Amino acid sequence: MFSKEEIAQRIAKEIKDGYYVNLGIGIPTLVANYIPKGINVVLQSENGLLGMGPFPFEGEEDADLINAGKQTITTLPGSSIFDSAMSFGMIRAQKVDLTILGAMEVSEQGDIANWKIPGKMVKGMGGAMDLVASAKNIIVAMQHINKAGESKLLPKCTLPLTGVKCIKKIVTELAVLDVLPEGGFKLLERAPGVSVEFIRQSTAGKLIVEGEIPEMKLD
């Protein structure tokens, strides 16, 4: 199975030259460390920053430079800092080419639940609802199964929704999957050493398998 870092590394391969990319809280923030060489990408943080770099080395952190998840970050030459009103204006105007989000659940219709677990205190949904309503393309970085061994890829989400029919692709510790417009998770790649049958057993929603499924490659 892939680690969180390997999930982020695989998602980084989806980023194309010239993209403006928003990285959500959790696994998506790790993508900043794996941007392919020779690719010119501008990373956007919804708290008001364009031009994020990789995470700082220990001892080189600047407490005034943080992402939306309150983690210390670095900035690249030419970066800009602005207020959240301008940041969300950029998001709502669909100036972001790719959004990478974490999720608690995704349905086979492309619905996403990623902001609230009933009975647990949360500060709010943050910018997730704006992002899923406005983004041109959304990839989810998530765990395929929860700590109880239950699938998080479901026929229908059980948690409060963040967005409806908006997710295009999912990368988990087990697999890479497309969410089809007509519904269902189409298996594209599997993690090294993980069988198609295990992925099938770990996916509660409709899983579509066509032909031989290659192993994920990070190089």
Q: What are phi and psi of 85, to 5 degrees?
A: -60, -45
Residue found by looking up tokens 């105007």 in the block? 93
Whole-prediction pTM:
0.92
Q: Which amino acid is at 166?
A: C
Q: Where are the beta strands (DSSP E) in 40-195?
A: 42-45, 49-52, 75-81, 98-102, 105-107, 112-113, 138-141, 153-154, 169-171, 175-179, 185-190
Which residues are CB-neighbours of 120 under 8 A, at least 6 positions away?
A: none
CA angle 165, 137, 187 (to 5 degrees): 70
pLDDT score at 117 = 74
- Alpha-carbon distance of 90 to 51, in angstroms, equals 14
pLDDT score at 198 = 97
pLDDT digits (tens, 9 = 90+) for 13-38: 999 999 999 998 889 989 989 998 88
Per the annotation, the verdict on 46 as an active-site residue is yes
pLDDT digits (tens, 9 = 90+) for 49-66: 999 988 899 999 999 999
The one catalytic residue in 6, 46, 105, 108 is 46
CATH number, span 4-208: 3.40.1080.10
Query: What are the domain boundaries of the chain?
Result: 4-208
